[in-house]
Amino acid sequence: MIALDEESVHTYHLFYLYIDQYVPDSTGVKLGHARSTDFNTWEDLPYVLHVLPGTWDSTAIWAPSIVQQGNTYYMFYTGVAGYGQRIGVATSRDLYTWTRNPSGPVVTPQDAPWTAGAADFRDPFVMPDPDPGRQNHWLMYYATRRQSDGVMVPGLAKTTYENDLTQWDDAGALFSDSLDYRFRTSTVESPHLFEHNGTWYLVYTTGNNYQQLSYAVAADSPTSTVKAGWVDNDYVVNTDCVQFSGDAYASEYLADTLAGGTGKELFCYVGTREIDIRPIHWQLGDCFSFDFIPPAAVTDLATGLDEGSVTLHWTAPGDDSTAAGTSACRTRLAYS
């Protein structure tokens, strides 16, 4: 995560999965925290959440997604107990101290009976509902597996009540389609959405070994549950766009338009041994690529890692309807 602290002058906060390969059973057991004022120099801070024995998130914590409503930040995350995955939330007033929801997870496979169960139910992304008839409501996208055919798809949930981010209603799979429509991959993880010039972009991590990021676009609504509502586009990084050496996994979008910001649309992704933050270059149609020289590359927040999981997230506080992106991936990294 990269979050902007409204109490400071343009301070961004990075939240990520903390892994230490030299400590047994340390993979994904806590969320790390760092901050920066320029995307280049990062100060490492104490971790913010840790697994709790005997609870629904006793094995691992993944994929934070943070939004702000009023004076409160909400961190949605994947909690794992054994092989079961659920989605919970913690709250904070300052981005430093977080308190879990005492009622436990807020979205579970039992809430979405069309899913294949708790083995694949993760990677929440939360954003304001853009429907004019649902002001003060929120949307949650997540990665799951459909029971009917075993295909991984983005799931969708909507808040039940205004200004209440703890009660959610199932809205089904984002794509209700036949077995042959799989985004050219058997894996769909870490969904996140953003809007540009009236078009919604759904970016997700795939299981394709050549290029792990792909996206679909929709002109009408980001909540369409039919295949016709979305156009499956090419890979984010393809032959017509900038090619990256090494891996490109989880991704985030940020419109850095607040006071003191660059005014640019930025795209963040996990590359080989670093987190790249690049300005978006818009091309004809729905294609976009990135400037060759990134404004920042986050590396070496921690050392001693050969491979692990990293989750990125950012928010811009001060606006009740400001949302942040989230993504999670498994990759080879030198930071946690």
Give every CB contact of residue 139 below 8 A, 6+ residues apart in sequence. 126, 127, 128, 129, 156, 157, 158, 159, 222, 223
In the prediction, which pLDDT does 325 show?
30
Host H or E run for residue 266: strand 265-271
DSSP state of 167: -
Positive or negative, the CA dihedral 174, 146, 253, 157 is positive
pLDDT digits (tens, 9 = 90+) for 82-110: 989 999 999 999 999 999 999 999 999 99
| Nearest in space to 93 (alpha carbons), one of 10, 5, 164, 14 | 5
For residue 20, what is the DSSP state? Answer: -
Find the mean pLDDT for residues 280-294: 70
CB 164 within 8 A of CB 72: no
Domain definitions of the chain by residue range: 2-331
Q: What is the pLDDT of residues 175-232, one digit of tens each?
A: 654 433 445 566 788 888 999 888 888 888 876 665 577 777 887 788 876 655 676 6
User: In sequence order, which ranges of 104-168 are alpha helices (DSSP H)?
Assistant: none
Q: Which residue has the higher pLDDT, 13 or 269?
A: 13
Nearest to 166 by CA among 51, 67, 52: 67
Q: Domain 2-331: which topology?
A: Tachylectin-2; Chain A (2.115.10)
Q: Which amino acid is at 80?
A: V
**pLDDT, tens digit, 9 for 90 and up, residues 247-261:** 666 777 777 655 455
Distance CA 226, CA 286 (A): 20
Please say whether the beta carbons of 105 and 118 come within 8 A.
no
